[in-house]
Chain A
Amino acid sequence: DAKTTQPPSMDCAEGRAANLPCNHSTISGNEYVYWYRQIHSQGPQYIIHGLKNNETNEMASLIITEDRKSSTLILPHATLRDTAVYYCIVRRINNDMRFGAGTRLTVKP
């Protein structure tokens, strides 16, 4: 399975965009990039996923580079409630998800 590399922590000012990077240089052609977040004592919350194209939903945008070796999760207007651990996962078809250590995002007032 492809491994992911994320910075251990990041800060963001409330109201600004939060850009969370992820490197997945060994990703294969049939592997999806998934993003989840986890707030203390809750289960991981699905945010967004993509294969090749950029994706956007009501929560976030996902930008995947053309060579698919890295991606960026964008939270357009971060709020205090976005403070959480964010996980970037590369997932094969019909395979489990291997979570890394994630990025601890702290949104500050």
Chain B
Amino acid sequence: KAGVTQTPRYLIKTRGQQVTLSCSPISGHRSVSWYQQTPGQGLQFLFEYFSETQRNKGNFPGRFSGRQFSNSRSEMNVSTLELGDSALYLCASSLDGGGNQPQHFGDGTRLSIL
């Protein structure tokens, strides 16, 4: 069974630009969560999507948004990029997002802002 696939693996952008990251969950998984990982703040939850609806949201500004498609694939968008947005962005999928369902992570997209 294929794991969680994130594209692209690496991305370089400049301040003020916007970026879209993609995540393909494990087949059959309907919940997709996004996380940001930085050396200073560690792993922080961004949001979770289930059945094309945002179900949970972390404490990030509105510049961070996402969506989920009917095939459960998800995209995350960051607008008006800032230097502090440089991070590893991780996507995780699970069957239904319930507490007894493990989330399985992809290897992330490393975003660098110049």
Contacts and interface: CB of A to CB of B under 8 A. Distances in A.
Contact of B58 (A30, A41, A51, A96): A96
B102 A44 contact: no
Could you tell me the dominant secondary structure of chain A's interface residues?
loop
Contact of B102 (A34, A96, A101): A34
Is the interface on chain A under 10, 10 to 19, 20 to 34, or 35 or more residues? Answer: 20 to 34
Contacts of B107: 41-43
A96 B33 contact: yes
A94 B45 contact: no
B54 to A, nearest CB: 12
B106 A43 contact: yes
A43 B108 contact: yes
Interface residues of B, number: 24
Given A43-B105, A44-B105, A95-B56, A32 B99 contact: yes
A30 B99 CA distance: 9
A31 B90 contact: no
Interface string A29-58: 011101010000111111001010000000
B42 A97 contact: no
20 contacts: A32-B99, A34-B102, A41-B107, A43-B4, A43-B90, A43-B108, A44-B90, A44-B92, A44-B105, A49-B102, A51-B100, A92-B99, A94-B56, A94-B97, A94-B98, A95-B99, A96-B33, A96-B58, A99-B42, A99-B43
